[in-house]
């Protein structure tokens, strides 16, 4: 990272940690300008008057604790990427911040200078790509998710990053069950409503940093960067929970369900995003066939 025009806002109340992070960034080759604050209020005051390209944010500050720290900063500066700095006991909270829109998190004491430099570079790179996509109208008008073209552009970018960092990802292919019956029985306007509700469920079930798209019609896709061995199961459980919650609220005159297929990308393999979509699509149709057999 050699861009001296980058402005990093470091929000950390421990003087020793502030000094360590500055030295790490310098060691990683950064000539960025680092502005350090030690409270949430001072960070918000800075962002209200000055620009920042990225925020390195400790969630535990003298005037704010936990998720409220990220939520307050993200609400004031939603267009600024955030990398959360967490303690070992706060990793689950850091993961929740990523689900709500943070670009990444780092556990204090478990990373070195090059990893910090990479995290900053990639967070800025991903965020800039997302902003460019919004300006290029690569968003589905009905749901506000990325459309197929937007998904492919972002997914291919993430695949390149994954190959450089040796990190795989999961690709979910989802199909809204029974859309034709909903259209036939309740009208196409209600069918559109079902698609919008499905998109809202996906946004709740997956992390804010995951790439969620409506590929067209009743088909959706999600790219989720792997965090651990439970990376595939966790969003599926969240998805099941959100669908049950929607049913309990009785917002729709029919049950909303999704068939799902998952493909795993290995950074050592050469599959294209389209090939991974085909794999996940095949698994999804197998699940849909199993549902039909169970009904019959």
Give pLDDT, residue 180. 94
Please indicate, yes or no, whether residues 120 and 186 belong to a single structural domain of this protein.
no
Please indicate, yes or no, whether residues 23 and 113 belong to a single structural domain of this protein.
yes
Please, what is the Cα angle at 228 between 209 and 111, to 5 degrees? 80
Give pLDDT, residue 31. 79
Does residue 1 sit within a domain?
no
Q: Per residue of the chain (296 residues), give pLDDT as tens.
A: 445 678 999 999 999 999 999 899 888 777 789 999 999 999 999 998 899 999 999 999 999 999 999 999 998 888 899 999 988 778 889 888 888 889 989 998 888 888 888 889 888 988 888 777 766 778 898 999 999 999 998 999 888 888 877 888 899 999 999 999 999 999 999 999 999 999 999 999 998 878 999 999 999 999 987 655 566 788 899 999 999 999 999 999 999 999 999 999 888 888 899 999 999 999 999 988 888 877 76
Q: CATH number, domain at 204?
A: 3.30.70.270
| Count of domains observed in the chain | 2
Which structural domain range is residue 185 located in? 138-295
Give pLDDT, residue 75. 85
Does residue 160 sit within a domain?
yes
Last residue of a domain, one of 97, 130, 163: 130
Give pLDDT, residue 1. 45
Last residue of a domain, one of 130, 156, 190: 130
Give pLDDT, residue 226. 67
Please indicate, yes or no, whether residues 173 and 248 belong to a single structural domain of this protein.
yes
Nearest to 59 by CA among 102, 19, 8: 102
Please indicate, yes or no, whether residues 149 and 105 belong to a single structural domain of this protein.
no
Return the number of other C-beta atoms located less than 10 Å from residue 296's C-beta: 5
Give pLDDT, residue 261. 95
| Token digits of residue 119 | 């995290």
Please indicate, yes or no, whether residues 220 and 290 belong to a single structural domain of this protein.
yes
What gap in Å lies between CA 96 and CA 258, rounded to an integer? 24
Last residue of a domain, one of 130, 159, 177: 130
What gap in Å lies between CA 10 and CA 166, rounded to an integer? 27
Please indicate, yes or no, whether residues 151 and 217 belong to a single structural domain of this protein.
yes
What pTM was computed for the model? 0.61
Does residue 158 sit within a domain?
yes
DSSP string over 173-234? EEEETTHHHHHHHH-HHHHHHHHHHHHHHHHHHS-TTSEEEEEETTEEEEEEE--STTTTHH
What gap in Å lies between CA 221 and CA 191, rounded to an integer? 19
Give pLDDT, residue 292. 80
Give pLDDT, residue 227. 53
Q: Which residues pair with 223 in a beta bridge?
A: 171, 211
Give pLDDT, residue 62. 96
Under a CB-based contact definition with an 8 Å cutoff, are residues 31 and 68 in contact?
no
């Amino acid at each position: 990272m050699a861009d001296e025009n980058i402005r990093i806002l470091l929000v950390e109340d421990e003087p020793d940690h502030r000094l360590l992070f500055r030295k790490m960034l310098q060691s990683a080759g950064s000539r960025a300008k680092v502005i350090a604050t030690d409270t949430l209020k001072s960070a918000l005051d800075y962002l209200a008057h000055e620009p920042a390209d990225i925020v390195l944010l400790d969630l535990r500050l003298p005037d704010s604790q936990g998720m409220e720290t990220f939520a307050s900063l993200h609400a004031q500066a939603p267009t600024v990427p955030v990398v959360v700095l967490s303690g070992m006991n706060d990793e689950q909270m850091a993961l929740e911040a990523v689900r709500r829109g943070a670009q990444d998190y780092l556990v204090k004491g478990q990373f070195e200078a090059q990893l910090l430099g990479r995290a900053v570079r990639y967070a800025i790179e991903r965020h800039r790509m997302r902003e460019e996509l919004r300006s290029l109208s690569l968003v589905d008008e009905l749901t506000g998710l990325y459309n197929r073209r937007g998904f492919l552009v972002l997914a291919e970018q993430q695949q390149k990053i994954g190959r450089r960092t040796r990190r795989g990802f999961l690709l979910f292919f989802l199909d809204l069950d029974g859309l034709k019956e909903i259209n036939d029985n309740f009208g196409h306007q209600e069918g559109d409503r079902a698609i919008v509700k499905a998109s809202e469920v996906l946004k709740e079930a997956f992390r804010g940093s995951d790439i969620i798209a409506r590929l067209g019609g009743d088909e959706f896709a999600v790219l989720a960067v792997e965090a651990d061995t439970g990376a595939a199961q966790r969003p599926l459980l969240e998805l099941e929970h959100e669908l049950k919650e929607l049913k309990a609220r009785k917002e729709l005159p029919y049950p909303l369900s999704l068939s799902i297929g998952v493909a795993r990308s290995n950074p050592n393999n050469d599959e294209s995003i389209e090939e991974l979509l085909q794999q996940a699509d095949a698994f999804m149709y197998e699940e849909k066939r199993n549902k039909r057999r169970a009904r019959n």
